[in-house]
Structure 1
Amino acid sequence: MEGRLIGIIFFSLLLGMVSGVLAGLFGIGGGIVIVPALVFLFTAQELPADLVMIMAIATSLATIILTATSSVLAHHRLGSVIWGKVFRLAPGIVVGSVIGATVAHSIQTDLLRLIFIVFLLYVGTQMALEMKPKVGAANYSMPIDFVVASVIGLMSSLVGIGGGTLTVPFLMHCQYSMRNAVAIASACGLPIAIASTLSYMVLGMHASNLPAWSIGYVYLPSFFGVSLGGVMTAPYGARLAHKLPAHQLKRYFSLLIFILAAKLMWY
C-alpha cells in the first residue's frame, strides 16, 4: 500500500511537470492532459473502476485552484484583468460548476468518459487547424451573460478544466482583445475550480469504495503531486514559447490529443 502511494505521488509529480510545460508553451489548460493521464494512472494502480473517471476530473479541477491563482496574480500585476466582467460572469460560473459536478456524479461513467472524449476532439481540431477566435462587437445583457457563464461553468466542471477554451472565444466575441480575454478567463477559472472542487468533495463524501487519502472524489496524493509539478515547470514552459516554433508544435500536440481521445474511446 505504501509503495503504491509513493508511486502515485511520483507519477503525479511528473504529470504536473509535463502539464506545466505544456500550459506555458501552448497556453492551454492542464486538464486536457491531466484528466486522461490520471485515468490511466488510477486504473494502473487499481483504483475502483467506477470511480476512476470522476476522480480524475475532480482531482484535475482541484489542481487548477493553485495554477489559476498564480495566473490571476500575474495578469493582475500586468493590469490585464477587467474585474467588472469577472464579477459579472462569476455567479453564473459558480451555478454552472455546481450543476456540472452534480451531473457528473449522477451519470454513468461511460457517458462521462464520452463527454470528455468529444471535448478532446473539439480542442484537438481547434489546435490542428489553428482556429483562432475573432474579435466581435457583441454587447450582451446580464441575463445572457449569466446563461453563457453557467454553460461554461457546467462544461468545465464536467470535463475537469479551467474553462479558458470556452471563455476566451466568448469574451473576444464581446469586444475584448485577446490579452484581456485571456486575463479575464484566467480569473474566471478560479471560481470554476473552487466551486467544482467543493462540489465534488461534498457529492463524493459518501461514495462507496473510495480509496484512502480521498476527500470525496478528490484524490489528495495526485492533487499535491500534480500541483507541485505544475508550479515548478509552468514558468519554464512560458520561456520555451519564445524560443521554440510553438505554432508548428501545436499541430504535433493536437496529434497527442487525438491519440488520447482514441485511447479513452477504446479504453
Structure 2
Amino acid sequence: MQSFILLLIGLVGGTVGSLVGLGGGIIIVPALLFFGTYTRWLSGITPQTAVGTSLLVIIFIGLASTLTYMKHKTVDYRSAWIFFLGSGPGGIAGAIANKSLNMHSFSIYFGSFIILTSFILMFKDKIKPKKMKRPFPIMRIYQDPDGNMHTYGFHPVTAWVLSFIVGLFSGLFGIGGGSLMVPAMILLFAFPPHVAVATSMFMIFLSSLLSSITHVSMGNMDWGMALFLVPGAWIGGRLGAFINTRLNSKTVVNVLRVILLVVGFRLIYQGLF
C-alpha cells in the first residue's frame, strides 16, 4: 500500500507538472508532508527531506518530458541553457536557505506560494504572446506545425535575474519553478506557449539536478521514498508531455487550481495552528 501511494504521487506529480510546465514538486511536496503528518509510515518527515526528495524526482520528470518534447522540436535548448545560468545558482541558494525553515514557517510560506500559483493558473489561458516591439540582443524564430512563424527574444540580464528567482523558489520549496517561468517567458519574451512549456521543462531538469545535489550533500534525501516516486514520475512526465502535444489542457488546469487553493490554505492553517 505504501509503495502504491508513492507511485501514485509520482505519477500525478509527473503528469501535471509536465502537462502545464510546473515541474511536479507543487504536487509532490504537499503530498509527502500530508502523509508525513497523518500516517505512521511517513511520520517524522521534515520539510528539508520532502524538498530534497522532490527535487530528485523532478530531475526524472524534467528528463522524461524533455525527451517527449524533443520529438516535437519545441525545446529551445540555447535559451534554456542561458536561463540555467541564473536558475542553477538560484537553486543552490534556495537549498541553503531551506535548512533554516521549520515545519510551521515552511507550511506558511509554501502555502502562500501555492495560492499564488493557483491564481497564476487562473489567468494562464488569458496569457498570450505579445508582439515584439523592438529587437532584443537574443532573438529566436520558431515555425509551428501549421507553418506559422513566431519571433521571440530576450535580454540575457533580464533572463538571468528572472531565472535566478525561479531557481531560488525551486531550491527552497522543492518545485520546478515553471509556475513562474512559463508565464514570464510568454508575457515578457513572447515565447509561443508550447515552446515556453517545453523549454521550461528542460531548464527545470538542469536546475533540479544542481539543487538536488546540494540537498543530497546536506542529507535532505529519503532514498526509500525516491525509489517508488521516481518510476511513477517518469511515466507521468512522458504522459503529461504527450497530452500537452495532443489535447487542450484547460480542464486539467481548472481542476488543479482548485486543488492548489485548498492545499495552500490548508498548509497555511497548519503552519499557524
TM-score (norm 2): 0.79
Task: Give the alignment of 1:230-241 within 5 angstroms.
Answer: 230-236=233-239
Question: Does 2:266 match 1:263?
Answer: yes
The superposition leaves residues 125-163 of structure 1 with CA deviations (integer Å, 9 ceiling, x where unpaired) of 233455543323373432332222111100122121112
Write the letter of the residue equivalent to 2:265. A
Please identify, of 174-183 and 7-16, the stretch whose mean Cα deviation from structure 2 is larger.
7-16
1:148 is aligned, of 119, 137, 162, to 162
CA contact (8 A) 2:18 2:24 kept: no
2:177 is aligned, of 163, 181, 192, to 163
TM-score (norm 1): 0.81
The superposition leaves residues 214-258 of structure 1 with CA deviations (integer Å, 9 ceiling, x where unpaired) of xx1111122121111122345555666799884345333322212
Question: Does 2:59 match 1:45?
Answer: no
Taking a change above 3 Å as real, the CA distance of residues 245 and 115 of structure 1, as seen in their structure-2 partners, is same
Question: Does 2:121 match 1:127?
Answer: yes
Write the letter of the residue equivalent to 1:174. F
Task: Give the alignment of 1:34-113 within 5 angstroms.
Answer: 34-43=28-37, 44-45=39-40, 49=44, 52-113=46-107
Question: Does 2:196 match 1:181?
Answer: yes
**1:76, distance to aligned residue in structure 2 (A):** 2.2
Write the letter of the residue equivalent to 2:25. G
Q: Tell me how many residue pairs correspond in the alignment.
A: 248
1:14 is aligned, of 8, 29, 48, to 8
Taking a change above 3 Å as real, the CA distance of residues 10 and 244 of structure 1, as seen in their structure-2 partners, is same
Gaps of at least 5 residues in structure 2 are 137-153
Alignment correspondent of 1:208: none
Taking a change above 3 Å as real, the CA distance of residues 201 and 125 of structure 1, as seen in their structure-2 partners, is same
CA contact (8 A) 1:67 1:230 kept: yes
Write the letter of the residue equivalent to 1:223. A
CA RMSD of aligned residues (A): 2.6
Write the letter of the residue equivalent to 2:158. I
Write the letter of the residue equivalent to 1:142. P
Write the letter of the residue equivalent to 1:90. F
Taking a change above 3 Å as real, the CA distance of residues 15 and 47 of structure 1, as seen in their structure-2 partners, is closer
Alpha-carbon distance between aligned partners in 1 of 2:243 and 2:70, rounded to the nearest angstrom: 23
Partner of 1:266: helix, strand, or coil? helix
Partner of 1:218: helix, strand, or coil? coil
Percent identity of the aligned residues?
25
Write the letter of the residue equivalent to 1:218. M
Gaps of at least 5 residues in structure 1 are 1-6, 204-215
CA contact (8 A) 2:21 2:201 kept: no
Alignment correspondent of 2:223: 220
